[in-house]
Chain A
Amino acid sequence: MIGFVLRRLAQLVPVVVMAALAVWALVYALPGDPAAVLGGVNASDQEIEAIRQRLGLDRPVWEQFATWLGHVVRGDMGTSITSGHSVTSLLATAIPATVQLAVLAMIVVVLVAVPLGTVVALAPRSWPGRLVKGYLSLSLATPPFWLGLLLILLFSVRWKLMPASSRYVAFFDDPAGALQNSLLPALALGVYSGGVLARFVASSLAEAMQSDYVRTARSKGASEVRVVVRHAARNSMLPSLTVGALQLGSLIGGAVVMEVLFNYPGVGKLMFTSVNGRDYASLQGSIMFITVVFLLLSLVVDLLYAVLDPRIRLR
């Protein structure tokens, strides 16, 4: 198991380097002097010259990449031109905020997807089943940002229960404050993603309920609850797990719209400001972070697969 994790981590290295190459090339693909691009429109000649020195822009291309990568590995991703802070320090404040929001949203996703998916899988033709199916279609058709706006309108503007503009309050310092600030964006994100996941939960559980081993369990005289919980549930979890992990990844990396909407200081917001301000150093840092998150999540999914399914052996 440990050997497997180490090997998989080692296999990630070339992937990360490839991703880094793409992120690095982002700047070089733009017209003009990369140093000028990184320095921004208002940079002085000295500032641009300093960047040029730091990145070794007078040396061959592959050396430039190696130099940049060397800086990144040491935690130096340059300076943000919009804030003047180092990209590393910007990420260091944005990442915890985003992770907290993503975890909260994921809890909402699971609370929505598992019960609703189970109802649809077990009783698709009953009235609760039809009702849930109707709701799921509706929720998939509802853009998350619209739901976010609605939540702000109701909870912040009309009832004044939550702030319209969310701050990041660490959950372990002040749980109530954290919930007050993060709950609305988490709901807006989680309700939509939960609807997506619920469909996968429903279809894989329904498939498991048609399987031969469920028939065997019924022929043993096991109750329906036992058949679902002990036999079908674990087998049906595998496909949902992959989808769930991808959603968590997109919650961490892609909550741009929601973070901007709620003015929540996470990675998504950072990306938004970077793009607006042509802050390429910050953008590079954010994209690198998201890449690594997705790669690590896929590793976690593989490990969970092995835990859930004895047929998958880690070698």
Chain B
Amino acid sequence: MSLRSAVPVLGGAPDPCDGPGSPAPLLSIEDLRVAFGGGDQAVAAVRGVSYEVYPGETLGVVGESGSGKSVTVMAALGLLTTATAATVTGRVLFEGQDLLAMSAPQRRRVLGRDIAMVFQDPVSALNPVQRIGDQIAEMIRLHEPGVSRGDARRRAVALLEMVGVPHPGVRARQYPHEFSGGMCQRAVIALAIANRPKVLIADEPTTAVDVSVQAQLLEVLRTAARETGAATVLISHDMGVVAEMADRVCVMYGGRVVETGPLARVFGHPRHPYTEGLLACIPRLGDPVARLTPIPGQPPTPYLLGKGCAFAPRCAHRSGREVCLGERPELVVVDGEGRGGVAAACHFLAEREVPGLRQAPPAAAASASASASAASAVVSSPAASAVSSSDSAVSSPAAGGEGREGGGALLEVRELSKEYPMRSGLLGRRTGAVRAVRGLSLVVRPGETVGLVGESGCGKSTTARLLMRLEEPTSGSVVFDGEEVTGASAGRLRELRRRMAMVFQDPKASLNPQLSVGANVAEPLRLAGGWSRPARRERVAELFDQVGLARHHLERRPSELSGGQRQRVAIARALALRPKLVIMDEPVSALDVSVQAQVLNLLADLKAELGLAYLFVSHDLSVVRHVSDRVAVMYLGRIVELAGRDDIFERPRHPYTQALLRSVPSAEVEVARRGRRAPLQGDPPSPLNPPEGCSFRSRCPLAEEACGREVPLLRVHDGLPGEVACHLAGAGGTGAAGGPAALSAGAGW
């Protein structure tokens, strides 16, 4: 950690020297091109990418889906599967030797020994039928054939211990399915560093895990790189992760590098309009804004790319200029040299350097999204907002409402519980229960957004399904609009479900692929009855206008639309019968960040326009902060803290909320570089066997003996706003002001 905190925060490359005399790059990719398929159908996924990584540094590669960031490294290492029939050209120099020109046996000697990979989905990256220890031992013995089987196993155990796997001796003899996702990723990291590689390439290493586990894994990666002295290439779509880990960054778009340079200089002063847009469109935990600035349009599909700048159709800076479409901008150095230099690929870098011209004229080009583009031009750059991070004057008007008593409730949940029985044996005897939701109480008032956050397995999605009675609750009651949902007859339930709608995480799976999207949206109307065909058509068209879809989309199939458009369709379908409440289960998690901002803005507009209430279920704290009026934090089936948005995020009182907030990586370079340690260790316990008393005590740094005796109730403490379920909350133990230094959330939040 000290290594990181010693890194200068602003002002260029961290390590030895810039410019001439700097060490040769360890791995450099030169003009790499990857095309899938052959002949006329060839699709260029990577269109001339060059970057290099120097000894001891971490290079972050950021980009949205389809940017070619993963394909680039897979192609560079020869790991593209044979079935894809890819054509790879260019050079990949490792210590002066071209990996692409090597024979397969030569390349195999480099892979795993000098260059090792950490993959995105750790559970499937490990062989399910081999013991973890054996998989690591194989890595060692492949490159050091002289090592005995027993020695290799002993080294595997030591490696597992180093990456923080508890009981490594036992764990080494287990299979991947016996590991949690986070533990699997630790094992994959142990595997990657087994031969002390010179280059470690991590492809979205924390995308598949929870935020508290993500913080642990980033720490493990940092330690691993430091222990082995490896240069790291970190590929991620998450600006926060990159800001926290990288020394230099490389921003990719449409199969090309559009901007590269030292992290603080790129994130602090983005030169390329895409980098700027990307930084502006993410909701920030530490710096809430009333409205996000999305990048209009969709990330490009490789086969539709023309010869010009791939970003041109979405660019707020282009202002209709032809050169952007006709000519591909080269990556040119704008500032500094070598490692410390910043390079960007845009025709109009020069005018963007002049501060007065940074506010480009409203884009006439992207006509459909002219308003969004205009907004993007007006909102200050992220660098500016980073400076004024304490300025959170912009807050939504409804943010004040606290307490559960005030106001008529639209949805009232009382002591809701759901157990899934576990059966075993010949007769299927009940041997236990997964207690997914345990006595949850919650109120949603008309026109209000309540955020429900928690890590995977905490029961938040189950709760959402229980509210609609898509699953039968084990006990408790749900009252919606003055009527009991639990216990309602099938007919009444259909009636109730017209007034409460649901939007699911994956629109691809939740829309009927056989029907056109128009028919998908019309379906609730058809089922409700009383809508004539012309009336339905009119309503669907109206809905399409509302959610920002063009009418020519009506006849398309869901598969013909992009992810963001599909989610708009799902939202339109939810709104068809003019519900009062929309329950949203991770509605933006499957979307790229630039599209996520569009959808979040749409949800805000619809809420203002239609007076909707939302129950917004998400694992993403930044998103929840952005959309919610009040927030409920769930842990193992219970709400541990419930308070107004600003209270939760600025004065969190439950130790879990505090830890969760500190786990979120921030794209703010200054915040990210504070030398953060993972605030929580271990994985959440199994809901099959939750700890007695307070469920969080097994991971809580403040836990006392008393915490095991009684379940803490969610209640108001000392007249402070919000409710907390913690035995120590009242005693000032976790209060916003007097929290122990180790846990205080920090002014940054």
Contact = CB atoms under 8 A, between A and B. Distances in A.
A210 B84 CA distance: 10
Contacts of A234: 129
Contacts of B79: 215, 218-219
B81 interface: yes
A222 B104 CA distance: 10
A235 B125 contact: no
B111 A11 contact: no
B364 to A, nearest CB: 46
B610 interface: no
Nearest to A313: B177
Given A221-B108, A221-B142, A215 B128 contact: no
B116 interface: yes
A311 B128 contact: yes
Contacts of A30: none
B129 A219 contact: no
Contacts of B109: 221
A222 B113 contact: no
A213 B127 contact: yes
B124 A213 contact: yes
Interface in A1-24: 7, 10-11
Interface centre among B104, B108, B109, B119 (most CB of A within 10 A): B108
Contact of A221 (B112, B124, B126, B425): B112
Given A215-B79, A220-B111, A311 B177 contact: yes
Contact of B116 (A219, A223, A308, A315): A219
Nearest to A233: B129
Given A11-B426, A210-B83, A310-B175, A218 B111 contact: yes
B81 A212 contact: no
B129 A216 contact: no
B271 to A, nearest CB: 34
Nearest to B178: A310
Nearest to B126: A213
B386 interface: no
Given A10-B426, A216-B119, A310-B177, A222 B129 contact: no
Contacts of A216: 117, 119, 125-127, 188, 191
A217 interface: yes
A235 to B, nearest CB: 6
A220 B142 contact: yes
A311 B77 CA distance: 31
Contacts of B121: 212
Given A11-B426, A211-B124, A315-B424, A308 B108 contact: no
A76 B646 CA distance: 83
Nearest to A235: B129
Contacts of B104: 224
A87 interface: no
A190 to B, nearest CB: 28
B454 to A, nearest CB: 27
Interface in A256-315: 308-311, 315
A2 to B, nearest CB: 15
A116 interface: no
Contact of B125 (A210, A212, A308, A315): A212
A230 B139 CA distance: 13
A212 B111 contact: no
Contact of B113 (A215, A218, A221): A221
Contact of A222 (B82, B108, B177): B108
A213 B128 contact: yes
Of A222, A224, A308, most buried by chain B (CB within 10 Å of CB) is A222
Nearest to A234: B129
Contact of B111 (A7, A221, A310, A315): A221
A11 B427 CA distance: 11
Interface in A85-116: none
Interface of B: 77-79, 81-83, 104-105, 107-113, 116-117, 119, 121, 124-130, 138-139, 142-143, 175, 177, 188, 191, 424-426
Interface of A: 7, 10-11, 206, 209-213, 215-224, 230-231, 234-235, 308-311, 315
